[in-house]
Every structure is written in structure tokens, then in C-alpha cells.
Chain A
Amino acid sequence: MTIDSKLVERIAKLSRISLTETEIKNLSSELDNILNWIEQLSELDTEGINPVFSSFDEEETKYRNDKVNDGGYREDIISNAPLSEDGFFLVPKVVD
């Protein structure tokens, strides 16, 4: 697998990060290096192994009751927004 600048641009698009030409160039070689090193995992035969997504395996994980038990912090939550109005987050126009 080689990571070329075209692939880097595609990943950047998916990541919602804009990159400069220099960044694209650097990232191509850095990501290529890192992914080639990661490639060593392919030596391992993992046929029939069940993946583990978390080491947490407590059986008694409790479901909480499906009801509102907290809230009413609209002002607190909005307080860190770069732009807000009347208790709403403001964003550039999305629909024409």
C-alpha cells in the first residue's frame, strides 16, 4: 500500500481538514511510513479469532431507566459557542 498525495487529499476531505500543499506532501510520506510499519500485523493469522472492542466485560452493566434525570443547562452549554443567538448555535447558511 502506498499513500500518495491523491489519497491524502481524499482522507483529508473525509476528516474535514483542509491541508496546504506542504502538509499534503509531508503527510504522504509520514502516513506511508506509519502504515507500512502497521502492515506487520498481516503476518499474524487471525482466522477464527473474535475481535475485542473493549476490555470491559462486566456482566452487570446496568441499564438506567429511560427517563430524563438531568438537564436544563441551555445557557451553560451555549456559553462556549463561538456564535450564538437566543440560545441557539449560529452556523453559516446551510439551506438556500
Chain B
Amino acid sequence: MTEFSTLSIKETITSLKNKDFSVSELVDFHISSMENGRELNAFITETADIAREKASDCDQNYSKGEEKPLEGIPLGIKDMFCTKGVKTTASSKMLENFVPPYESTVTQNLWNDGAILLGKLNNDEFAMGSSNETSFFGEVKNPWKNNKDNFTVPGGSSGGSAASVAAGMGLASLGTDTGGSIRQPASFTGTVGLKPTYGRCSRWGIIAFASSLDQAGPITKTVKDCALLLNSICSYDPKDSTSSQKKIPDFEKSTDESVKGMKIGIPKEYEADGISEDITEYLEKGKEWLTESGAEIVEISLPHIKYALPCYYIIAPAEASSNLARYDGVKFTHRVDADNIIDMYEETRSQGFGDEVKRRIMIGTYVLSSGYYDAYYLKAQKVRAMISKDFKEAFKKVDVIYGPSTPSTAFELGDKKKDPLEMYLNDVFTVPVNLAGLPAMSVPVGLDKEKLPVGMQLIGNSFDEESILSIASCIEKSAKFDLNPNKWWINE
């Protein structure tokens, strides 16, 4: 039997064209991987029937030679994307039974290109979390156990998206990234994750968390696959007023570009404390790989970067408190009955939201409330301007900024659950990018002493995904990372 699980999207498409195997065989393999991997809890809803039906259509398209760019590729979709007729929960009790009457633009783009929905993936509730432990449907386990044989978190909020790809359940997945929710889990699971420039992808049909920060993006096994999915999901969408009309380049081409002469910035602020020794080692290794390939390393400064995290924890909860006001027991499936409407609202929200979501709604409500708005919310938006300016200055000197994706590798399940603030600190390297709306990705580079994957982050200038893809491709070739966790979840 073909070892489907080791193939990338690119290789799979070549094999499908050569008739080495059919889409139906491919899809059956991924359905059984998904079913055998239930212990990971990566999927909330499995859509095997939809996938099988679509697979036979795809096979016909191949036999007629009418295949589309992603024809027959099974993908998992984070449960933050509305999928028409398929339950979409945001991993919340509040939307436990919500069946969207419409399809999100980015997923529609994928289906138009021939991709197949394999299932809907678990995430932190309403995408609020960094470990996938806040989901109403339970925590997701990282396919990578540490060297003590203990379970680790897959990161979050796109934990299911990252875990499924690392475990070979689906060829790739879609996630969303508001403060690092694609890049941090990609880094924890040894996968490639990219957050496009704000405005590259439509937000229409994505359950809103923080609208000025949210972006959709792919999680894949390889850099080239990442570019292939990006080609499909990006589009101008009149239904999203912040959707860009800029020309969309061929991202796949960028993965073959030489990095010779490119300038790579390393922020001197990154050398501050708090990064694990192993990650620092890989940071140095990366510099060598890039220099050997003809890129030039330049020291830069992002003087206000240390304020990005507290700034984010004002802006994101503020936007969330407003976005989540719509869950009032009237329109979206969950309601707790009460005698009067105020009690109905309060009880519905009290029982429908989990602790972290409540915490963030409360922070957001507070920083927007009368008397505190200027001191918190307005102040944060000014700090955001300063951070954006830091990046603008840096990109006058360099093409790409290089550094760690996370301060540590995957931590053990339950380890940071008790202290919300400690959990927030995970996003220290990823959050600044969202505030400035820039594109960024995480690329796996190797394993640390605990036998857990390490990811490095590449940040690009606004609408320059191409440069980060070229650099990522160069790092991928040098690192030769093997995405092959020991499959402990399969009972032989």
C-alpha cells in the first residue's frame, strides 16, 4: 500500500495525475487515519460521508483531465470557519448546535479549487487560548510526546489544525491567527504555519474574535504546500470591507527563488532573557544556514516590542467583548430560559461561555467602559502605532525579520492552565505581527532535548509573503526536519 501519510500536497497531486492511486483511495486512507486518531481529539466533527462523495467526483475530473489546482486534496478546517450545512461550533457550548446557512469565503475558495472537507477541527473556545485547553469539546493532544513520555499541548488556538497535520490526518488544514494562533501551534507540532498580511484573505464567514487582528491561513507539512494553499485562499472579497484589492502573486514560485543578497534582520531585543537554550541554539544555526545561502544578517531594533503583549491584551479583548455581544440567546441555538429578558441574556451567557472567554469579555468591557476608555483602549491603540512604526523602520533596512516563534517548545498538558497570565506570555513573539498586520510564518527546524519540535518565525513586510516563503524554503532545505512523530495513538 502507498504510504499516503508521508506525501506532501505537491507530491500527492503528481501521483494523482500519474494515476498511481485514486482520490477515493487517498480519501479512504485519511478517513481511517482520522478515525484511528480519535484519542488526539483533533476533530470535533468528522465529515467522512461528504469526503467520500466528493472524492468520486474528483476522480472523474482527473480521468477527464479537468482537474483543478487542489483536486481531491483532503483538508481539515478549524471550527471557526462557517461551513454551509456542517456544524460549526467555535469549540463553544454557545454554538454547540450551530449549523451555518452559508460558507466562508476562504473555504469556498478551497472547494472551488477541488479540495475536499475531511472534518472540522478543535480549537480553543472562540480562538481564545494558546494550548487548546479551553475548548468546550476537551483538550487536543499534541502528536509529539516529550522525552518523559508525557502528553504535551499542541498549542493554540488552532491546536486541532496543527495536531491533525502532524498526525497525518488530512494533508493540510486551515487555521486562524489573531495573536499567534497559527504560528504557535505550528511551532509546537513541527508543521509549517503562515499568517498572511491583514487583508490578504477575506474574513467573511469566519466567526469573529478580534476583527482588526483576525486572519485565516494554512498549516501544512511543507513550505511549498503552504504556498499552494495560500494561492487558493487569497482573494478580493467585496463582502469584507478590509479585503485587499492588491494583485495576488504566484506564491509557489517564491519557494524556488534564491535568497542570495537578501537582508535578514535579527532584532536585538530578541536576545533578551526568556528564550530556552535549545531555541537559542537553533536561532544561531539558522543564521549560519542563511549566510551559507548568500543572505546577509543585519542587526535591527524594535524598541517598543516589549509593549506589544500588554497592548494586545487590551485591544483583542475589547474587540472580542463587542463581537461576542451577539450571543444573547436569541439567534444562535443556545438559550437558558428565564422569566425576563435580562436574566435570559445573563444566564445564557453565563452557561454558554467558558472561563477564558468570560475573562476576556470582562477585560474588554472594562477597558472600553466610560472613564477607562482613554487610559486603556486609546492608549493601547497609540502603542500599536508605535509598534507598527518600529516595523516600518526595520523594513527600510531588511527584507525579512528572523527569530523564534515561541519562547519554549510544547509544554505538558495542564501545566499552564491555572495561571491565565503565564499562558498569555506564550504569544510574546507572535502578537506584535498581528498588531502591525504583517505576514509571518513558522517553519520547523529540528527537535530540542525533550524531543519536541522547534519552530522559527519569519516576518515579512506588508503584502510581502513572497520573501518569507523564499527564506522559509531555504531554511527548510537546510534543516531537513523530519515530521514523523511516533504514532503512539494507534493501537496495533
Contacts and interface: CB of A to CB of B under 8 A. Distances in A.
Interface of A: 8, 11-12, 14-19, 23, 27, 30-31, 33-35, 37-42, 44, 46, 49-56, 58, 60-62, 64, 73, 76-77, 79-83, 89, 91-94
A93 B342 CA distance: 11
Contacts of A76: 101-102
Contacts of B246: 58
Nearest to B310: A38
B33 interface: no
A9 to B, nearest CB: 11
Given A16-B328, A18-B350, A80-B98, A33 B421 contact: yes
Contact of B346 (A16, A55, A64): A16
A33 B478 CA distance: 43
Contact of B338 (A41, A62, A92): A92
B272 to A, nearest CB: 15
Given A11-B365, A51-B382, A56-B199, A31 B333 contact: no
Contacts of A11: 362, 365-366, 369
A94 B341 contact: yes
Contacts of B361: 15, 17
A14 B365 contact: yes
Contact of A58 (B245, B380, B424): B245
Nearest to A53: B381
A41 B378 CA distance: 11
A27 B212 contact: no
Interface string B369-402: 1000000101111111110100000000000000
23 contacts: A15-B321, A16-B325, A16-B345, A30-B359, A30-B420, A31-B366, A33-B420, A33-B421, A41-B383, A42-B379, A44-B383, A49-B385, A51-B384, A51-B385, A52-B382, A55-B437, A55-B462, A56-B242, A60-B245, A61-B242, A76-B101, A82-B334, A89-B331
